[in-house]
Chains A and B, each alone.
Chain A
């Protein structure tokens, strides 16, 4: 009897002694914490991957910002109706501070992730990091610059956050940094990235889908071109030099004219420099296919046809241009609710059996863009012959004859036209018109240069005031 009593008491007391501390210090098993992450190379690899992941999900906005605000896409109000009033408002420069095209949160999410890599990877003690450290730091610098370049082009001055948010005690309400200071940081980051990154990875998907030396150089070219034209910094030579480095890189070559469509309907061609990857087998898909795909006359299949190519763009293709059919097709009377409308052909997804997966890659940088950027820089520097030769490389590939332009001004217009048709629906047109000051001349109306800062951002951080002009 006594025994039972004592064992009960002992049991109770044992629980008492052991329970307390162990029970309250639960350690997560299926996730890591600040103290258990960033320990070795594998952690660093897993961390840098999230910087690319952050770029995914914004493809429709990349295109709306870059194309739908300009003149190569339109909302088919008369033919179909308005799928999304926000797209129409955006096109009409009637952008409210609560427009879904106004938040910048996705870029800062990506910036915070790579800031964490930049802050913590140098502290990793494991020797496994040695062989990959430079490349991972380079990727982080590249991605930070990449995000800030979107921010500075769309909103101008933006808070320049260079450290990760790891506690609520940190200053959570930064003020905006002038655009030129942000650009200086972008250039500094990209130059770091250029020295740290390698030219290729072991797989083609990574060579095209991750940051490389070539991608850093191509982006530097783009940044210098932007500054030279938009801010008149006269850095044409730097732009031309970085383009030359990319052109000299054997990793990149133009796809033949016959295979032009493969740039978009196969993945990672030789022309691609930085291409955001999707693959339905990895459950990574985007919203682009349904954004453009015709509405079916049946209800459950088909897309939204939110925007369609403008007539101006359709007419801009010269006769015999192989790029036209690779860029635009017409909806079918047999299967589509609204037949015979021009439709974007660059994002058709992957068809397996009866299922269409929306997983076309989104190309940020490709060689044709760099060639035309170099042509523009050289034309600005007065080197018209070299510039014309570069334009002709693009024209000849498309099955067209040499350009007739010879003067600097004529060449600049020829380059603008060539970029219009070559890079349509890839998110470039608006920035080209904006930086060259040609918005009003080309679109017929003036539009506000910058987007509004999203209204809740200002509510949560009054230091962001003043709001951008016009809002």
Chain B
């Protein structure tokens, strides 16, 4: 792979030279006679005050100065053929050509840019000052050149109230996104993504982060209700860069770097492990026979002392190369880009690479008609290793395997199994062939027609195609491969959407109106094909054609459709009072015939207090706006035919296919509806030097799509019905501040900060509010799986289990006195060295009846802070991000340390109970599996809070005057670190984990999760 990287690098370099050379050739040897002259003047504001500290620069040079205390300046320039640039934070930049003037006085206009900033909203754009809803926005600049796979990873920590968790650090895996908390237990909590107007679900890594113009997150109902039945979990809008008329801009960018794991878990070495095993056998009165330990040590020296983690982790690498073009004339503009991203994972034999291309064109066909198209294409390939809940998972096996076995046989081949039949994780990683390839195309074509003054019609046709292929083969040389099993699957999803909107805007005096009417139809069809076979002929053919016995083959199709009508009305009076209302009517094929259509309204209002006359005299306040909104949005993310009673296949017998009714038809099944209210305040101070946004919200979700338990005499265990309520309430704050304002070459420092607090609660459930207990369906060799609890009054995402006192029975007398039994009245007694659990119900038995809430996976607050410093051509940006107050269930540690000594254990067990009288928190080792020291208990819960330096970048931009000589527009070199430092008390590899990401009741579980990596990259951006 390194070879091909190099090649790509060379191709880029070649391309760069091609572009540079002709220009170099064309460049003459000009140069004019220098005739220095002196210029002076005064800079004032519109109100007549003199302005100190204004930067005056000679355009295209490094020559410049600043105004003094009284706003005056004096500057020497080479000649009159130059242009002066006057700039000061909070004021609009102004240019003045010198000519033969020697005195240039300038009046700078206050910069209302932040307020006039255009924000993308559903089906349109709005100026920030006119917004009445809660919309977070990030400009593309902030997302550029990060060594991450897609836009969502780049967005992490940058917008208040948007919680993005990388479930796994595996190359190519998608993150988990939650906006303002979890609302639903069954119907999905993922936001809806709109990429250049195309509504798409699932992953959006088809977009190259460097192509992004802006990302907007719509949070409150006034912003999301225009998306009706899909708005309950928020909307993320991605807008890519469009072409610009004028000179063709060519940009090349490249970065490359290395990746490492943050830490490895300290495990027992061969000597410590032997000691642990022998002690356990001695206590149990048994002989160690399983391993034959005596043969594994020679003269007291371990024959093998393998550190499995050292064997499976390596230094990873990441690189990215891309080229982009933007240009056009006054009628036609275009933008195009092509990029290649490659990642070699930190776990051996894992990696990811993706090619992404994009083309957009906009054409003004006439004064009234504008049309254009946009296409995004990507192909991504993951080279995978088994993870998590899999007998052959690499990381858990590296933490379960004893150190007594070697990695390689004397002949260099991989050992197969260790002394107790567990697979060699190195062999598994290197020899398992597992690839997932995704191809995606998102495209649209639009036409805009000006029908009449202020009235425009827009019609778009969008498509989204995603095809995913997965192939896995296990050769006979590793565990589980004796039959050489293989699987192959393919699935695709095709969605088309037609949207038609009418926009109208009009102003009469102080009154401004704008309105939107729309109609949209969407249909999505998906197909899945899978096959499995075994008894392959050879290890060298990994495809199924070599397999003698096909074991499974299946294909299936499904589909859904959505028909919607929507409208929006905005009204503002005197730029002071703002009103907005939206309404959407959605019909979804997923819902019952009786409840097919739903109505989703919202209203919002804003009051720009700073426009009131009584505020005019407070110069410190540039802008002050109070806004409030309320609305209803829905969630339709359930199975496509959930309301129809389906006769499904699969109930087979004697090799004959059976078809049975799999669910009771429920024609009244409907969407979940969320009512959200929001109050917000936007404040700009000191000419926009400080901008503050605060929001408080309350979200109540009704008619949850819940599985309601039925008496089983019906023949069914449950039926999907609309019952139950949840609530999320929270506070969000964002501040951006320009702390120090330098001139063009001076020192400047800006800070942006955001923090969000969300509190989540279940208000009611089905079956008379009966608890919902969900057990993580993990393979039994990991010990007892953690359990999540859904209980009225508690948050979604609390852990349920035994409460550990943090002490084991120190002596047999103590254990005897406690007289505690395991499981039932006839269960075995707890003995010395066993964990002391709290017998919640006091019945002398530790069993399920004693379970209580032992932890909460929801953070108390999350946030991020970015500090950016610039000085001359240097820029330094440090972005930190945190999560505070969330618990993690460390199931990886449970799997190792649940007291069964034939599992490799972490050094925690050096504290284990060894003999009568030991007072400790770690139980005795046992030579056979016993459940009671491995219950899902509070022993495995840890504080998952962390603060990490997510990104730190130091860059240098070369002066343009210098670059001009070689006809380069801009050149920037940088070094960047990702996850440089992480401050946490969590004992696992990394606190950012979420093993069961799709199950709201089982958040925050760490089970052999591929860790987040620390990345250091070097890169360059080059523009012509």
A351–B559 alpha-carbon span in the complex (Å): 43
Known: A12-B459, A24-B589, A28-B644. A284 touches B715 (CB 8 A): no
Asked whether B647 lies within 8 Å of A56 as measured between CB atoms, the reply is no
A398–B68 alpha-carbon span in the complex (Å): 117
Asked whether A457 lies within 8 Å of B711 as measured between CB atoms, the reply is yes
Flag whether A53 is at the interface (Cβ < 8 A).
yes
Chain B's closest residue to A117 (CB) is B660
Asked whether A52 lies within 8 Å of B653 as measured between CB atoms, the reply is yes
Chain B residue numbers with a CB within 8 Å of A46 are 656-659
Flag whether A334 is at the interface (Cβ < 8 A).
no
A29–B587 alpha-carbon span in the complex (Å): 21
CB distance from B46 to the nearest CB of A (A): 44
Flag whether A314 is at the interface (Cβ < 8 A).
no
Asked whether A165 lies within 8 Å of B714 as measured between CB atoms, the reply is yes
Of the residues A8, A49, A460, contact of B449 by C-beta under 8 Å: A8
Asked whether A298 lies within 8 Å of B659 as measured between CB atoms, the reply is no
CB distance from A400 to the nearest CB of B (A): 36
Query: Which among B335-343, B818-826, B907-915, B950-958 touches the partner chain?
Result: B818-826
Flag whether B430 is at the interface (Cβ < 8 A).
no
Interface residues as binary, B289-317 with A (CB distance below 8 Å gives 1, 0 otherwise): 11000000000000000000000000000
Chain A's closest residue to B717 (CB) is A105
CB distance from A212 to the nearest CB of B (A): 14
Chain A's closest residue to B662 (CB) is A31
Of the residues B558, B652, B665, B822, contact of A34 by C-beta under 8 Å: B665
Of the residues A19, A49, A94, A282, contact of B826 by C-beta under 8 Å: A94
Flag whether B521 is at the interface (Cβ < 8 A).
yes
Chain A's closest residue to B417 (CB) is A300
Chain A residue numbers with a CB within 8 Å of B651 are 49-50, 53-54, 113
A46–B648 alpha-carbon span in the complex (Å): 10
Chain B residue numbers with a CB within 8 Å of A23 are 521-523, 561-563, 589
Flag whether A459 is at the interface (Cβ < 8 A).
yes
Chain B residue numbers with a CB within 8 Å of A282 are 652, 654-655
Asked whether B826 lies within 8 Å of A89 as measured between CB atoms, the reply is yes
CB distance from B654 to the nearest CB of A (A): 5
Residues of B634-668 at the interface with A, using a CB-CB cut-off of 8 Å, are 640-641, 644-649, 651-662, 664-666
Flag whether A301 is at the interface (Cβ < 8 A).
yes
Residues of A1-55 at the interface with B, using a CB-CB cut-off of 8 Å, are 1, 4-5, 8-9, 11-12, 15-16, 19-20, 22-26, 28-34, 36-37, 43, 45-47, 49-50, 52-54
Chain A residue numbers with a CB within 8 Å of B644 are 28, 33
Chain A residue numbers with a CB within 8 Å of B716 are 109, 112, 165
CB distance from B596 to the nearest CB of A (A): 6
Chain A's closest residue to B768 (CB) is A459
Asked whether B447 lies within 8 Å of A8 as measured between CB atoms, the reply is yes
Flag whether B617 is at the interface (Cβ < 8 A).
no
Of the residues A22, A81, A86, A88, contact of B930 by C-beta under 8 Å: A81
CB distance from A6 to the nearest CB of B (A): 10
Asked whether B523 lies within 8 Å of A284 as measured between CB atoms, the reply is no
CB distance from B917 to the nearest CB of A (A): 26
Flag whether A126 is at the interface (Cβ < 8 A).
no
CB distance from B834 to the nearest CB of A (A): 14
Chain B's closest residue to A99 (CB) is B824
Flag whether A123 is at the interface (Cβ < 8 A).
no
Chain B's closest residue to A106 (CB) is B712
CB distance from A106 to the nearest CB of B (A): 8
Known: A19-B521, A108-B715, A172-B710. A47 touches B653 (CB 8 A): no
Of the residues A25, A37, A52, A460, contact of B654 by C-beta under 8 Å: A52
Of the residues B647, B657, B711, contact of A33 by C-beta under 8 Å: B647
Interface residues as binary, B312-353 with A (CB distance below 8 Å gives 1, 0 otherwise): 000000000000000000000000000000000000000000
Chain B's closest residue to A277 (CB) is B654
Interface residues as binary, A115-157 with B (CB distance below 8 Å gives 1, 0 otherwise): 1100000000000000000000000000000000000000000
Chain A residue numbers with a CB within 8 Å of B640 are 26, 28
Asked whether A49 lies within 8 Å of B928 as measured between CB atoms, the reply is no
CB distance from A234 to the nearest CB of B (A): 32
Residues of B355-394 at the interface with A, using a CB-CB cut-off of 8 Å, are 365-366, 369, 371
Chain A residue numbers with a CB within 8 Å of B717 are 105
Asked whether A88 lies within 8 Å of B714 as measured between CB atoms, the reply is no
Asked whether B421 lies within 8 Å of A24 as measured between CB atoms, the reply is no
Flag whether B125 is at the interface (Cβ < 8 A).
no
Flag whether B858 is at the interface (Cβ < 8 A).
no
Chain B residue numbers with a CB within 8 Å of A108 are 712-715
CB distance from B475 to the nearest CB of A (A): 16
A113–B716 alpha-carbon span in the complex (Å): 10
A299–B876 alpha-carbon span in the complex (Å): 55
Asked whether A29 lies within 8 Å of B589 as measured between CB atoms, the reply is no
Asked whether A4 lies within 8 Å of B365 as measured between CB atoms, the reply is yes
Asked whether A15 lies within 8 Å of B498 as measured between CB atoms, the reply is yes
Flag whether A76 is at the interface (Cβ < 8 A).
no
Residues of A in contact with B, size category: 35 or more
CB distance from B538 to the nearest CB of A (A): 17
CB distance from B506 to the nearest CB of A (A): 22
Of the residues B482, B665, B712, B902, contact of A457 by C-beta under 8 Å: B712
Residues of B794-833 at the interface with A, using a CB-CB cut-off of 8 Å, are 822-828
Flag whether A198 is at the interface (Cβ < 8 A).
no
A31–B558 alpha-carbon span in the complex (Å): 9
A49–B556 alpha-carbon span in the complex (Å): 21
Asked whether A50 lies within 8 Å of B660 as measured between CB atoms, the reply is yes
CB distance from B641 to the nearest CB of A (A): 5
Flag whether A461 is at the interface (Cβ < 8 A).
yes
Flag whether B865 is at the interface (Cβ < 8 A).
no
Asked whether B828 lies within 8 Å of A82 as measured between CB atoms, the reply is yes
Of the residues B500, B652, B714, contact of A284 by C-beta under 8 Å: B652
Chain A residue numbers with a CB within 8 Å of B551 are 283
Asked whether B498 lies within 8 Å of A12 as measured between CB atoms, the reply is yes
Flag whether B504 is at the interface (Cβ < 8 A).
no
Flag whether A354 is at the interface (Cβ < 8 A).
yes
A53–B555 alpha-carbon span in the complex (Å): 22
Chain B residue numbers with a CB within 8 Å of A86 are 824
Of the residues A89, A109, A277, contact of B653 by C-beta under 8 Å: A277
Residues of A185-215 at the interface with B, using a CB-CB cut-off of 8 Å, are 205-206, 209-210
A52–B711 alpha-carbon span in the complex (Å): 22
Flag whether A279 is at the interface (Cβ < 8 A).
yes
A167–B661 alpha-carbon span in the complex (Å): 11
Flag whether A96 is at the interface (Cβ < 8 A).
yes
Known: A37-B647, A56-B653, A354-B482. A19 touches B712 (CB 8 A): no
Chain A residue numbers with a CB within 8 Å of B652 are 49, 53, 282, 284
Asked whether B459 lies within 8 Å of A11 as measured between CB atoms, the reply is yes
Asked whether A24 lies within 8 Å of B558 as measured between CB atoms, the reply is no
Interface residues as binary, B702-719 with A (CB distance below 8 Å gives 1, 0 otherwise): 000000011111111101
Flag whether A85 is at the interface (Cβ < 8 A).
yes
Asked whether B558 lies within 8 Å of A82 as measured between CB atoms, the reply is no
Known: A53-B651, A166-B665, A172-B714. A12 touches B500 (CB 8 A): yes
Chain B residue numbers with a CB within 8 Å of A298 are 290, 420-421
Interface residues as binary, B433-477 with A (CB distance below 8 Å gives 1, 0 otherwise): 000000000000001010000000101010000000000000000
CB distance from A238 to the nearest CB of B (A): 29
CB distance from A462 to the nearest CB of B (A): 10
A48–B521 alpha-carbon span in the complex (Å): 41
Chain A residue numbers with a CB within 8 Å of B369 are 1, 4-5
| Most chain A beta carbons < 10 A, residue from B562, B652, B664, B713 | B713
Chain B residue numbers with a CB within 8 Å of A307 are none
A164–B930 alpha-carbon span in the complex (Å): 44
Given A20-B563, A37-B647, 10 other A-B contacts at CB below 8 A?
A: A30-B557, A30-B558, A30-B649, A31-B649, A33-B665, A46-B657, A49-B654, A166-B664, A283-B551, A459-B767
A/B interface sample: 15 pairs, CB < 8 A: A9-B459, A23-B589, A26-B640, A28-B640, A47-B658, A50-B653, A53-B652, A113-B660, A113-B715, A164-B715, A165-B715, A168-B719, A209-B653, A300-B417, A300-B421
5 A-B pairs closest in CB distance: A112-B715, A23-B561, A19-B521, A105-B712, A49-B658
